[in-house]
Chains A and B, each alone.
Chain A
Amino acid sequence: QKEVEQNSGPLSVPEGAIASLNCTYSDRVSQSFFWYRQYSGKSPELIMSIYSNGDKEDGRFTAQLNKASQYVSLLIRDSQPSDSATYLCAVNIDRGSTLGRLYFGRGTQLTVWP
């Protein structure tokens, strides 16, 4: 069973604060990791992808990956009310193949209040 676990929240932070979102996964062969943002009633949009251990920064977003601990996180700096959404962690489990299937966590609902 491929499992991707996220704290469903809700996570509530004030504007300007750092929001920290966490995700753990059960399959050790997972190779690629993604964070998507989903607004209510809309489809997911890609925020970050990360493939190797360590940190990856893109603007206000930083993804962190630790394969030994099977843990991936997303930090949002200087949070804005427009960041309020559900954040989905997705893990690619098809090692060595071209299938590229993603398994998603249930998502963490983030609210940034002014």
Chain B
Amino acid sequence: GAVVSQHPSWVICKSGTSVKIECRSLDFQATTMFWYRQFPKQSLMLMATSNEGSKATYEQGVEKDKFLINHASLTLSTLTVTSAHPEDSSFYICSARTSVGNIQYFGAGTRLSVL
């Protein structure tokens, strides 16, 4: 399968700071990437669709000014959690979609802990 790299895998930060998470497709070009959030024992919740060269599309209830998404190239999307608060602590996972078969391959995830 395709390889998606996500970095960092773990981050601890103070309340009020911003955190940037990177998602890279290593062996294929991804015009579309997705960002998910997963709380303990819950399923993946889609946050937004990241489109190369255009604005991200956010799901209902997700604050676009808080979760900034940039998809500047065909292999890289970034998610910035701005002014993070303890309730933002979660497991953030990105995926990249292949053009054939509409299959999403996931990064390893980033565990964010906001103190």
Please, which residues of chain A bring their CB within 8 A of the CB of B102?
32, 92, 100
Q: Is B71 an interface residue (CB 8 A)?
A: no
Interface size on A, residues (CB 8 A): 21
Within the complex, the shortest CB–CB distance from A19 to chain B, in Å, comes to: 19
- Are A43 and B93 in contact, CB atoms less than 8 angstroms apart? yes
Q: Is B101 an interface residue (CB 8 A)?
A: yes
User: B48 — nearest CB in chain A belongs to which residue?
Assistant: A101
User: A45 — nearest CB in chain B belongs to which residue?
Assistant: B106
Please, which residues of chain B bring their CB within 8 A of the CB of A102?
34, 46, 104
User: B99 — nearest CB in chain A belongs to which residue?
Assistant: A98
- Are B103 and A44 in contact, CB atoms less than 8 angstroms apart? no
- Are B42 and A42 in contact, CB atoms less than 8 angstroms apart? no
Please, which residues of chain A bring their CB within 8 A of the CB of B103?
34, 46, 49
Q: How far is the CA of A49 from the CA of B57 in the complex (A)?
A: 25
Partner of A43, one of B42, B43, B57, B108: B108
Within the complex, the shortest CB–CB distance from A108 to chain B, in Å, comes to: 11
- Are B97 and A104 in contact, CB atoms less than 8 angstroms apart? no
Q: Is B44 an interface residue (CB 8 A)?
A: yes
Please, which residues of chain A bring their CB within 8 A of the CB of B109?
42-43
A64-98, CB under 8 A of B: which get 1 and which 0? 00000000000000000000000010001000001
- Are B106 and A101 in contact, CB atoms less than 8 angstroms apart? no
Please, which residues of chain B bring their CB within 8 A of the CB of A107?
43
- Measured CB to CB, the residues of B under 8 A from A are 1, 6, 32, 34, 42-46, 49, 57, 93, 97, 101-109
- Measured CB to CB, the residues of A under 8 A from B are 32, 34, 36, 42-46, 49, 88, 92, 98-107
